[in-house]
Chain A
Amino acid sequence: DAGVIQSPRHEVTEMGQEVTLRCKPISGHNSLFWYRQTMMRGLELLIYFNNNVPIDDSGMPEDRFSAKMPNASFSTLKIQPSEPRDSAVYFCASTLTGWNTEAFFGQGTRLTVV
């Protein structure tokens, strides 16, 4: 398996534009996570899906952020409209539900909003 695949790797956009980040989890995994990492706040869990259903979105910063998982092999994180403070590295991770399993992370998308 190629692991968790995120695209794009880098994104530069202007303030006010819509940004869509994409994630393909590892085949067979049924839980998916979106994290955001900044110097100030570290790694923050934004949202967590299980079997394509959002279970916990308490980490989503505000209504400008939305995430979907239309099927088991694809998820998106959308920011509309984007702001400079959204600049960060966004990671996607996936795992197989269970007490004794590990999560695997993608290489991240570095977002810069100017």
Chain B
Amino acid sequence: DAKTTQPTSMDCAEGRAANLPCNHSTISGNEYVYWYRQIHSQGPQYIIHGLKNNETNEMASLIITEDRKSSTLILPHATLRDTAVYYCIVRVGNTDKLIFGTGTRLQVFP
């Protein structure tokens, strides 16, 4: 299984962009990168996913490097409600499985 490496924690000022990095150097050519977040004790919430092109939706943008060995999740204007643990996941091969790592704890401060 392709593993991911994320910083343990990050801070961001409210209103600024939050850039969360993820390394996935062993990713295979047909594996997608997924991002989820978990606010307090709620169930993980889907944010965005991509294969090799950059992606954007109403929540965030996902930038994947050309060699696909790393990616960055961008929250363009962080709010206090974005404080959460953010998980970068490489979807396992040809299954639907999502294997969670330890994630990045993002703290947005006023």
Please report A residues at the B interface, Cβ cutoff 8 Å: 4, 31, 33, 35, 42-45, 48, 50, 55-56, 89, 91, 93, 95, 97-108, 110
Contacts and interface: CB of A to CB of B under 8 A. Distances in A.
Contacts, number: 59
Given A102-B34, A103-B46, A97 B100 contact: no
Given A104-B46, A107-B42, A99 B30 contact: yes
Contact of A91 (B43, B46, B96): B43
Range, interface on chain B: 20 to 34
Nearest to B47: A102
A75 B103 CA distance: 28
Contacts of A89: 41
Interface centre among A44, A56, A91, A103 (most CB of B within 10 A): A103
